[in-house]
Structure 1
Amino acid sequence: MRKILATHPLHPRATAMLAGAGRLAVASALDPKTLTTEARDADIVIVRAPLPPELFQGAANLRAAIRHGAGLDMIPVEAATAAGVLVANVPAVNARSVAEHVMFAALALLRRFRVMDRDLRAKGWLAGREHANSTSELAGKTIGIVGLGAVGQAVGHIAAHGFDLNVVATTRSLRPAPERVGFLSIDALVEQSDVIVLCCPLTAETRGLISRERIARMKPGALLINVSRGPVVDDEALIEALREGRIGGAALDVFSVQPLPPNHPYFGFDNVIVTPHMAGITEESMMRMGVGAAGEALLVLAGKLPVNLRNPEVIEHYRRRFPAGD
């Protein structure tokens, strides 16, 4: 019987889809040794946790590593390709969830929700109300979006049409600008935006993109929201800017080290919202991601290629490992 290993439990709809395709197993732990051992006899791995490169070396039956979501940073694509393993993902399906999280975070920072809620609970009604005069509306501000993929476009649409924001963006592609979105260079965007939203993938080019120099160029009072990947931001420089009061605050869903240590400096700021990499996780998005990943798994197990194949250069090697009809 074929084995489908999932690093985490899947949505019930996805589980039902895979019921007749083989034995669905959930990893007993997420450390490299356990994942490597439990993937040894797997035909498919559905990925929501980082896979070690060595996992692909001893998994003779492994046909595909399928990302439960869009970002491929959890899959060592080079190691998978060298082993003749297909890599696929489920792009765009959590974009709405992430975009809504971005707007929630911007509003919470501008309305000083953390300190208002804390003081209301601890000190009473008037203490909570004292924060109201230092809050701000979102409408009319400039939001700068770094990365205009599915998430960035969803953020831009909600920002422009839902909150009447001035939307600017920077992107590595030369696609036409969506309606009500203007293109700027990264430096101009940083200098002009009241809210900067990071939606770009982590690549060699984006690692450290929000550097000390660029943080220094941010407007006084500007907000930084990161739903991209932690290493896109220079943490030391951001912490320094927050301590010195040079920017208005930050909302961070992703970090260079995850889980974030409980004594991390970010937890000490009233104007920082910290969330545990869950901007894209809602009931609806989990269903869409799970169903999408299960659908790709079923295609591979039926001898077909996944719709969202991300390493097409592997096909020849893969076909040698699994001849048609095998």
Structure 2
Amino acid sequence: MALSIFSTHPLHSQVTEALAAIGRYRVASAPVAEAIAEESAGADVIVVRAPIPPRVIGRLPGLRALVRHGAGLDMIPMDVATRAGVLVANVPGANAVTVAEHAIWSALALLRRYPQVNGDLRAQGWAAGRAHSDAGREVTGRTIGILGMGNVGQALARIASGGFGMSVLCHTRSPGRVPDGMTAAALDDMLEGSDIVALCCPLTEATRGLIGEAALARMRPGAVLVNVARGPVVDEAALIGALRSGHLAGAALDVFDTQPLPPDHPLMALPNVILTPHMAGITEESMLRMGQGVVDAIRCIDAGTLPGTLVNPDAVPLYRQRFGLPGPA
């Protein structure tokens, strides 16, 4: 019987075509909990680009897998899926260079005071916008501190070092992931030694709120912060304080505690902040790459094999039992 494939979001046209060839393909009417819970009924596989309510897993007795369209797993209740014998797979690295490019673009724009230039040029005219230019700074030769050296962090380190001649300080729990020619650093040393701090880490209990008042105070006066990780890694109230006081020159934020960002949020009113709607990893090219990874994983599931990017192997014994699949020889 053909698989029933449900996606929380529309996907790349080529990916949509490939999934429709595997089974019955449906897309949520909106990427919100209520629509996902109601409209995923009967799904064998869910393609994940929005948070999956834990109750969805319990309500779908035929659910085989949750396949993340991307790398981060914080949208998936991993413990619930594993206990239910539901496979979880992701697509690591497919949008790493996309996110890294966004981080570099953000840093360049902050150092050249683009938010202020753009705002004053439009509101007050040419001279008002141009007045910011003398305070602009070059990115070449500066130091970037990168928190998290997964695929995104490594891609960003390569671009910063090789493309702009930047010094790179890396803070990671996995020293073996620090590229040659770059420096592993304790968190405090990285914060104190960097002109740009880029957050590229996963959201875990260890990283939640990690960049709070004390961490922000350790950053160099006039430094900038770029967050392409997850919103809760940063204490937003503390960040707003550091921006308003002038301790930080600016911040570029792609992720937030509450998404979508409320229109009356204090960040909306700050002139030294670049705000983007969780789009750092999204381009035409990355959407195709991530979608192709999703298709590969679902083809494995359809064939009765395990995806090569399986992230919860503890679910496999119950998964095999649920669907009468043989174990390894």
The aligned residue for residue 47 of structure 1 is: 48
Q: What is the CA deviation profile of residues 9-53 of structure 1, one whole-angstrom value per residue up to 9, with x for unaligned ones? A: 111121122222111100123332331222220011000000000
The aligned residue for residue 72 of structure 1 is: 73
Matches within 5 A, 1:1-326: 1-175=2-176, 177-324=178-325
Equivalent residues of 2:222, 2:249 under 8 A apart? yes
The change in CA–CA distance for 1:41 and 1:176 in structure 2 (over 3 A counts) is: closer
Match of 1:128, SS? Answer: helix
Equivalent residues of 1:3, 1:23 under 8 A apart? yes
Match of 1:167, SS? Answer: strand
More off after superposition, 205-214 vs 143-152: 205-214
Give the aligned residue type for 1:164: G
Equivalent residues of 1:144, 1:189 under 8 A apart? yes
Distance apart, 1:117 and its partner CA: 2.0
Give the aligned residue type for 2:189: A
The change in CA–CA distance for 1:176 and 1:123 in structure 2 (over 3 A counts) is: closer
Distance apart, 1:176 and its partner CA: 5.3
Percent identical residues: 53
Separation (CA, whole Å) in 2 of partners of 1:82 and 1:131: 56
Give the aligned residue type for 1:153: Q
Separation (CA, whole Å) in 2 of partners of 1:283 and 1:258: 22
Match of 2:176, SS? Answer: coil
Unaligned runs of 5+ residues in structure 1 are none
Separation (CA, whole Å) in 2 of partners of 1:33 and 1:252: 27
Equivalent residues of 1:40, 1:60 under 8 A apart? no
- How many positions carry a matched residue from both structures? 325
Match of 2:168, SS? Answer: strand
Separation (CA, whole Å) in 2 of partners of 1:156 and 1:29: 36
**TM-score, length basis structure 1:** 0.97
Separation (CA, whole Å) in 2 of partners of 1:294 and 1:88: 11
The change in CA–CA distance for 1:178 and 1:110 in structure 2 (over 3 A counts) is: same
More off after superposition, 179-188 vs 89-98: 179-188
Separation (CA, whole Å) in 2 of partners of 1:69 and 1:131: 38
Q: What is the CA deviation profile of residues 268-317 of structure 1, one whole-angstrom value per residue up to 9, with x for unaligned ones? A: 11111010000000000000011111111111011111111010000000
Distance apart, 1:131 and its partner CA: 1.1
Separation (CA, whole Å) in 2 of partners of 1:226 and 1:26: 29
Separation (CA, whole Å) in 2 of partners of 1:312 and 1:18: 24
Equivalent residues of 2:146, 2:200 under 8 A apart? yes
Equivalent residues of 1:6, 1:25 under 8 A apart? yes
Distance apart, 1:193 and its partner CA: 0.6
Separation (CA, whole Å) in 1 of partners of 2:32 and 2:164: 43
Give the aligned residue type for 1:167: V
Unaligned runs of 5+ residues in structure 2 are none
The change in CA–CA distance for 1:176 and 1:259 in structure 2 (over 3 A counts) is: closer
Give the aligned residue type for 1:161: G
The change in CA–CA distance for 1:192 and 1:121 in structure 2 (over 3 A counts) is: same
Equivalent residues of 2:69, 2:290 under 8 A apart? yes
Match of 2:110, SS? Answer: helix
**TM-score, length basis structure 2:** 0.96
Separation (CA, whole Å) in 2 of partners of 1:190 and 1:196: 7
More off after superposition, 111-120 vs 212-221: 111-120
Match of 2:169, SS? Answer: strand
Stretches of 4+ moved more than 3 A in 1? Answer: none
Match of 1:273, SS? Answer: strand
Equivalent residues of 2:141, 2:167 under 8 A apart? yes
Separation (CA, whole Å) in 1 of partners of 2:240 and 2:127: 31
Equivalent residues of 2:211, 2:233 under 8 A apart? yes
Distance apart, 1:174 and its partner CA: 2.8
Match of 1:224, SS? Answer: strand
